[in-house]
Protein backbone atom coordinates (compact mmCIF):
# COMPACT_ATOMS: atom_id res chain seq x y z
CA UNK A 1 0.00 0.00 0.00
CA UNK A 2 1.46 3.37 -1.04
CA UNK A 3 1.25 6.22 1.41
CA UNK A 4 2.63 8.09 4.36
CA UNK A 5 2.14 7.30 8.06
CA UNK A 6 2.90 9.95 10.71
CA UNK A 7 3.76 9.38 14.38
CA UNK A 8 4.34 12.49 16.48
CA UNK A 9 6.41 12.72 19.64
CA UNK A 10 7.21 15.73 21.75
CA UNK A 11 10.26 16.93 19.79
CA UNK A 12 10.43 14.44 16.92
CA UNK A 13 8.01 13.47 14.18
CA UNK A 14 8.43 10.08 12.49
CA UNK A 15 7.05 9.75 8.98
CA UNK A 16 7.00 6.33 7.33
CA UNK A 17 6.79 6.33 3.54
CA UNK A 18 5.53 3.28 1.64
CA UNK A 19 5.44 2.46 -2.07
CA UNK A 20 6.86 4.39 -4.98
CA UNK A 21 8.46 7.81 -4.58
CA UNK A 22 8.60 9.10 -8.14
CA UNK A 23 7.42 11.94 -10.36
CA UNK A 24 3.68 11.18 -9.96
CA UNK A 25 3.89 10.96 -6.16
CA UNK A 26 6.58 13.42 -5.02
CA UNK A 27 4.35 16.48 -4.80
CA UNK A 28 1.89 14.78 -2.44
CA UNK A 29 4.59 13.07 -0.38
CA UNK A 30 6.59 16.30 -0.03
CA UNK A 31 3.48 18.16 1.10
CA UNK A 32 2.69 15.41 3.61
CA UNK A 33 6.23 15.54 5.01
CA UNK A 34 5.99 19.31 5.49
CA UNK A 35 2.45 19.08 6.90
CA UNK A 36 3.55 16.47 9.43
CA UNK A 37 5.67 19.16 11.08
CA UNK A 38 2.87 21.72 10.91
CA UNK A 39 0.73 19.40 13.03
CA UNK A 40 3.62 18.12 15.11
CA UNK A 41 3.21 20.51 18.02
CA UNK A 42 6.62 22.12 17.69
CA UNK A 43 8.68 19.09 16.73
CA UNK A 44 12.30 20.03 16.07
CA UNK A 45 13.28 16.92 14.10
CA UNK A 46 11.74 14.93 11.28
CA UNK A 47 12.69 11.28 10.84
CA UNK A 48 11.76 9.98 7.39
CA UNK A 49 11.56 6.18 7.30
CA UNK A 50 12.10 5.03 3.71
CA UNK A 51 12.37 1.30 4.44
CA UNK A 52 8.95 0.69 2.89
CA UNK A 53 9.83 2.49 -0.35
CA UNK A 54 9.73 0.11 -3.31
CA UNK A 55 11.02 2.61 -5.89
CA UNK A 56 12.86 5.93 -5.57
CA UNK A 57 13.85 8.02 -8.57
CA UNK A 58 15.61 11.33 -9.09
CA UNK A 59 12.36 13.25 -8.51
CA UNK A 60 12.12 11.58 -5.10
CA UNK A 61 15.72 12.46 -4.25
CA UNK A 62 15.13 16.06 -5.30
CA UNK A 63 11.96 16.20 -3.17
CA UNK A 64 13.88 14.95 -0.11
CA UNK A 65 16.49 17.68 -0.62
CA UNK A 66 13.76 20.32 -1.04
CA UNK A 67 12.02 19.18 2.14
CA UNK A 68 15.36 19.24 3.98
CA UNK A 69 16.06 22.81 2.80
CA UNK A 70 12.54 24.04 3.61
CA UNK A 71 12.59 22.54 7.09
CA UNK A 72 16.15 23.71 7.82
CA UNK A 73 14.92 27.27 7.28
CA UNK A 74 12.36 26.58 10.01
CA UNK A 75 15.04 25.20 12.34
CA UNK A 76 14.04 21.56 11.86
CA UNK A 77 16.59 18.79 11.29
CA UNK A 78 15.82 15.80 9.05
CA UNK A 79 17.07 12.24 9.41
CA UNK A 80 16.59 9.34 6.97
CA UNK A 81 16.11 5.64 7.62
CA UNK A 82 16.85 3.18 4.80
CA UNK A 83 16.99 -0.61 4.74
CA UNK A 84 20.62 -1.74 4.73
CA UNK A 85 21.58 -3.07 1.29
CA UNK A 86 18.33 -2.01 -0.36
CA UNK A 87 18.09 -0.24 -3.71
CA UNK A 88 16.96 2.88 -1.82
CA UNK A 89 20.01 2.72 0.46
CA UNK A 90 22.34 2.30 -2.51
CA UNK A 91 20.77 5.26 -4.32
CA UNK A 92 21.03 7.46 -1.22
CA UNK A 93 24.70 6.50 -0.83
CA UNK A 94 25.71 6.76 -4.51
CA UNK A 95 24.14 10.20 -4.92
CA UNK A 96 25.69 11.51 -1.71
CA UNK A 97 22.33 12.27 -0.10
CA UNK A 98 23.61 10.53 3.04
CA UNK A 99 26.27 13.26 3.29
CA UNK A 100 23.53 15.90 3.42
CA UNK A 101 20.95 14.08 5.55
CA UNK A 102 22.08 11.86 8.41
CA UNK A 103 21.09 8.35 7.36
CA UNK A 104 20.48 5.33 9.57
CA UNK A 105 19.48 1.70 9.01
CA UNK A 106 17.24 1.44 12.08
CA UNK A 107 14.42 3.74 13.18
CA UNK A 108 15.57 3.57 16.80
CA UNK A 109 19.02 4.85 15.84
CA UNK A 110 17.55 7.76 13.88
CA UNK A 111 15.19 8.68 16.73
CA UNK A 112 18.08 8.58 19.19
CA UNK A 113 20.20 10.81 16.92
CA UNK A 114 17.29 13.24 16.64
CA UNK A 115 16.86 13.33 20.42
CA UNK A 116 20.60 13.98 20.90
CA UNK A 117 20.45 16.77 18.34
CA UNK A 118 17.57 18.46 20.16
CA UNK A 119 19.32 18.14 23.54
CA UNK A 120 22.27 20.15 22.20
CA UNK A 121 20.18 23.10 21.03
CA UNK A 122 19.60 26.14 23.22
CA UNK A 123 15.87 27.00 23.34
CA UNK A 124 15.06 29.76 20.87
CA UNK A 125 18.06 29.05 18.63
CA UNK A 126 17.95 27.31 15.29
CA UNK A 127 18.98 23.70 15.15
CA UNK A 128 22.23 23.02 13.30
CA UNK A 129 21.70 22.28 9.63
CA UNK A 130 23.55 19.63 7.73
pLDDT digits (tens, 9 = 90+) for 28-54: 999 999 888 776 567 789 999 999 999
In percent, the amount of the chain with pLDDT more than 70 equals 82
Q: Hey, what long-range contacts does 96-105 have (CB within 8 A, 24 or more apart)?
A: 97/61, 97/64, 97/65, 100/65, 100/68, 100/130, 101/64, 101/68, 101/130, 102/77, 102/130, 103/79, 104/79, 104/80, 105/81
pLDDT tens sequence across 97-116? 999 999 999 999 999 998 88
- Band of pLDDT at residue 82, cut at 50, 70 and 90: very high
Strand partners, 78: 46
Domain 3-119 has CATH 3.30.750.24: yes
Amino acid sequence: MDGVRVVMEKVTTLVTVHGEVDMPSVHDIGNQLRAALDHGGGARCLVIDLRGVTFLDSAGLHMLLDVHRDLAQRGVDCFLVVEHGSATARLVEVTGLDAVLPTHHRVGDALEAARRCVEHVVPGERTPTR
